[in-house]
A and B are shown apart, each in its own frame.
Chain A
């Protein structure tokens, strides 16, 4: 998690400004100057949480916990209530541990990262950004283009590889994606690459034959290197609603997701999906995408994230 030192808080804030303004203004308007938290206030907080895609269960849960922790607290100011809600939100991520990614990579080179997700979430763009960041960290990176299905996926990834200045392994459209993964890793071992990023085709998690294909890719990778893939990142579109939870569950069944990357958080979508999945499935959020530029990928930091949403 400390690999990327480009975490740029102001940029994240900028991306979330419109969101944040709306939420915070509503909350402070709602609760400032009130002596007691009445049902109406709680309803309004609930609305803010739910319209952030946090989900009915999680929102209700947060409110219940806020109520309990405010019971013994005499300070009923808007700021205190807001602070309590924030604290409760941050605590959802308490289980996440800052793992020494650098150490992990050094221990098992080449370090294989498989990137999966449904169609249109931004996998290829994310791979480009990841490649760029690893390269910047001084690592030798190769991308394996295992999206052999979508029209022009190869071309798109190729442009990203050029931007990041890293090697890429491609085969023609329609090739078995497992064979691309296989060859990329073989090449990485032979030519001593540090990082292997495998891009996969977007697939809906309820298509069993596509999910089977994914588990085959994983098996093939596993055959070349027993501990690989070292990471499997599930990319989620920040605009996605409650279905993201199902996506996380279903992809976990076939690939052991080790981290989430939430994209497109530079719009007005709040990515509240992150809280949902963390609360229910305990899959750590690793990075967030906040734009189409090569530098627009940031390490996820729970405190900064919640702060950026709620700070005045």
Chain B
């Protein structure tokens, strides 16, 4: 969209060329276009209005330079303003150094609270905290079961009582945590509408009782104009410390984040994407700004790669590549490493400039699963020496992996070509230098 936006703005600014300066008159069409873009992205009506005033103030009087087009100039101003609005530096979660850290999680129904609680526990567990989850959603059928299932997946105990009393659950849960040497509790509360007075009273009571170290408001990034109303109402009752933005792996433009951020003034602390428990990301305003504008998020991608990068394995792999001994066994490891980083589509979405293209192309994560299944159905011997794969073996592999013999043939052929490419690279003095040559040509 960044390119798209630039282009759109360029069209509205055609007449500005040669006029020297940006004036109220010559950018009025442009501002209208920006407004439309923001409203289409679900930025709140009033927030969009203010935002445009700011952009317009910054833009007015700016000289139109020959080196940079007016469209690019305004796009740059929008990007900078957006980053400022999304909120300065990143903000970490508070932990209570000496006593019990209590984290309260609130939000509307279906915003993703329970899944987030699971992810946050997993993340905090990695810092060696002893965590207890408290299941205070006593209303939604099976909500407690859901949290228990998540808890058991990551080995974190879940506290619940049989009574349908959220306040009591929390009180007893905290007592239990203190008695049993836990240093962190995460309280998952029921989803509630901000206009439900009874339920909002309940959340005030819980907040008062716990006086949490950190309270977080979970919000679906696809939320529309009403986001500011619920965010405000919850803030009045809970005065939360930060916001958790969920489902950003969808294709919503996430304007709600901008609205909430600017209306409530609380930092966005986490991004919670997907139901797999290892995909909790810390929020970076600049990255979201560029993501909203379609610039991609290369920093996240690099970080993800680093997190999952095993240096020892990489060293071994390099050695194998050099000796031209890369086999199916190594290939399988590579696939697993990629899968650890997330889905292919989410990875590609992070590459700058690819955003729009990826949207049109069908990135089939299942293809990877297929390849993995085929290799899994090979014997170790076959993986190391694919040459022995005759017709019968291929038939067996197709059957074993639930694929067709054509799929197996295709994979083996592609793998053969890959090996050829690699040996070619080696002959030319190693893959690295080949790449270097390419770069300079």
Q: A and B: partners?
A: yes
Residues of A within 8 A of B (CB): 18, 47, 50-53, 55-56, 118-122, 149-156, 158-160, 204-209, 212, 237, 239-244, 246, 264, 266-270, 272-273, 292
Q: B255's contact among A51, A208, A241, by CB below 8 Å, is which?
A: A241
Contacts of A55 in B (CB 8 A): 39-40
* A241 and B225 form a contact (CB under 8 A): yes
Query: Are A120 and B109 closer than 8 Å at their CB atoms?
Result: yes
Q: In whole angstroms, how far apart are the Cα atoms of A237 and B194 in the complex?
A: 15
Q: Which residues of A contact B255 (CB under 8 A)?
A: 241
Among B316-324, B363-371, B382-390, the stretch that binds chain A is B363-371
B141 touches A155 (CB 8 A): yes
User: In the bound complex, do residue B45 and residue A51 qualify as a contact, i.e. CB atoms below 8 Å apart?
Assistant: yes
Q: Are B193 and A209 in contact (CB under 8 A)?
A: no
Q: Is B423 an interface residue (CB 8 A)?
A: no
Q: Is the beta-carbon distance between A152 and B250 smaller than 8 angstroms?
A: no
Which of A56, A150, A209, A268 is in CB contact (< 8 Å) with B146?
Answer: A150
Excluding A122-B110, A242-B224, 19 further A-B contacts by CB distance (< 8 Å) are A50-B39, A53-B224, A155-B145, A156-B142, A206-B345, A206-B359, A207-B365, A208-B365, A209-B366, A237-B110, A240-B220, A241-B227, A241-B252, A242-B42, A264-B108, A264-B109, A264-B110, A267-B193, A267-B194
Interface string of B348-377 (1 = CB under 8 A from A): 000000000001001111100100000000
Q: CA A208 – CA B369 in complex, angstroms?
A: 13
Tell me whether B40 and A155 are in contact (CB under 8 A).
no
CB neighbours of A47 from chain B (8 A) = 45
Q: Is B229 an interface residue (CB 8 A)?
A: yes
Say yes or no for B249: interface residue by CB 8 A criterion.
yes
A273→B225 CA distance, assembly (Å): 11
Residues of B contacting A159 in the complex (Cβ-Cβ under 8 angstroms): 141-142
Q: Report the bound CA distance from A209 to B363 in whole Å.
A: 9
Is B109 a contact partner of A122 (Cβ separation < 8 A)? yes
Number of B residues whose C-beta is below 8 Å from A?
Answer: 53
Beta-carbon contact of A269 and B224 below 8 Å: yes
Binary contact track B121-145/A, C-beta < 8 Å → 1, others 0: 0000000000000000001111101
- What would 8 A/B residue contacts be, using CB atoms closer than 8 Å? A53-B226, A119-B110, A120-B110, A205-B250, A207-B249, A243-B42, A244-B222, A270-B226
For the complex formed, measure the closest distance between the CB of B357 and the CB atoms of chain A, giving whole angstroms.
Answer: 14
Q: Are A243 and B194 touching (Cβ within 8 A)?
A: no
Nearest chain A residue, comparing its CB with the CB of B111: A120
Decide if B230 is an interface residue (CB 8 Å cutoff): yes
Interface pair A268/B343, CB less than 8 Å apart: no
At the interface, yes or no: B223 with Cβ under 8 Å from chain A?
A: yes
Docked-complex contact A240 and B224, CB < 8 angstroms: yes
Do A246 and B251 have beta carbons less than 8 Å apart? yes
CB pair A119–B275 under 8 Å, yes or no, is yes
Q: Given the complex, which residues of A lie within 8 Å of B44, measured CB to CB?
A: 51
Say yes or no: A209 contacts B247, CB within 8 Å: no
Q: For residue A119, which residues in chain B have a CB less than 8 angstroms away from its CB?
A: 110, 112, 247, 275
Nearest 4 A-B pairs (CB), nearest first? Answer: A241-B224, A120-B110, A241-B42, A151-B149
Q: B256 within 8 Å of A by Cβ?
A: yes
Query: A56, B36: Cβ atoms under 8 Å?
Result: yes
Interface presence of B95 (CB below 8 A)? no
**Residues in chain A near residue B140, CB distance under 8 A:** 156
Q: How far, in angstroms, from A268 to B225 measured CA to CA in the complex?
A: 10
The answer to whether B220 and A208 touch across the interface, beta carbons within 8 angstroms, is no
- Chain B residues lying within 8 Å of A122, measured Cβ to Cβ, are 109-110
Q: Nearest chain A CB to B110's CB is how many angstroms away? A: 3
CB distance from A214 to the nearest CB of B (A): 13
The one of A18, A153, A237 in contact with B220, judged by C-beta atoms closer than 8 angstroms, is A237
| B195 at interface by CB-CB < 8 Å | yes
What does the 1/0 interface line of B238-250 toward A look like (CB < 8 Å)? 0000000001011
Contact A268 B194 (CB under 8 A): yes
Instruction: Determine if A243 and B225 form an interchain contact, defined as CB atoms under 8 angstroms apart.
Output: no
Q: B-side binding surface: helix, strand, loop or mixed?
A: loop
Q: Let me know if A208 and B110 touch, CB within 8 A.
A: no
B229 cross-chain contacts in A, Cβ below 8 A: 268
Chain A residue nearest in CB terms to B228 = A51
Q: B141 touching A160 by the CB < 8 A rule?
A: yes
Judge if B150 is at the interface, Cβ distance under 8 Å. Answer: yes
Complex contacts, A204 vs chain B, CB 8 Å = 247, 249-251
Q: Are A266 and B142 in contact (CB under 8 A)?
A: no
B41 at the A interface (CB under 8 A): yes
B275 A150 Cβ-Cβ under 8 A: yes
> CB distance B195 to A267 under 8 Å?
yes
Contact B41 A242 (CB under 8 A): yes
> What does the 1/0 interface line of B50-76 toward A look like (CB < 8 Å)?
000000000000000000000000000
Residues of B within 8 A of A269 (CB): 224-226
A194 to B32, CA, bound (A): 54
> What separation, in Å, do the CA atoms of A290 and B435 have in the docked complex?
60
Interface positions of B from 196 to 241, Cβ below 8 Å from A: 220, 222-227, 229-230
Q: Which B-chain residue is minimally distant from A159 (CB atoms)?
A: B141
Residues from chain A with Cβ under 8 Å of B145 in the complex? 151-152, 155-156
Query: A208 near B193 (CB under 8 angstroms)?
Result: no
Instruction: Give the chain A neighbours of B343 by CB distance below 8 A.
Output: 207, 209
* Residues of chain B with a CB closer than 8 A to A267's CB: 108, 193-195, 226, 230
- Contacting pair B40 A156 (CB below 8 A): no
Decide: A156 and B251 in contact? CB cutoff 8 A. no
Chain B residues lying within 8 Å of A18, measured Cβ to Cβ, are: 195
B residues in contact with A150, CB < 8 Å: 146, 275
A52 to chain B: closest residue by CB: B225
B251 cross-chain contacts in A, Cβ below 8 A:
204-206, 243, 246
A49's closest neighbor in chain B, by CB? B45
**Nearest CB of A to B72, in Å:** 24
> Are A120 and B230 also in contact (CB < 8 A) when A51-B225, A159-B142, A242-B40 are?
no
With A119-B275, A152-B145 as known contacts, state yes or no: A50 contacts B252, CB within 8 Å: no
What is the bound-complex CA distance between A244 and B110, given in angstroms? 15
What separation, in Å, do the CA atoms of A209 and B346 have in the docked complex?
12
* Docked CA distance A301–B149 (Å): 40
In the complex, residue of chain A having the shortest beta-carbon distance to the beta carbon of B364? A208
Q: How far is the CA of A273 from the CA of B40 in the complex (A)?
A: 12
Most buried by A among B110, B145, B253: B110
Residues in A whose Cβ lies below 8 Å from that of B40: 55-56, 242
How far, in angstroms, from A207 to B140 measured CA to CA in the complex? Answer: 27
Interface centre among B153, B229, B343 (most CB of A within 10 A): B229
Bound together, the chains give a CA A153 to CA B143 distance in angstroms of: 9
Question: Is B275 in contact with A156, judged by CB distance below 8 angstroms?
Answer: no
Q: Which residues on B sit within 8 Å (CB–CB) of A149?
A: 275
Residues in B with CB closer than 8 Å to A266 are 193, 195
CB distance from A249 to the nearest CB of B (A): 11
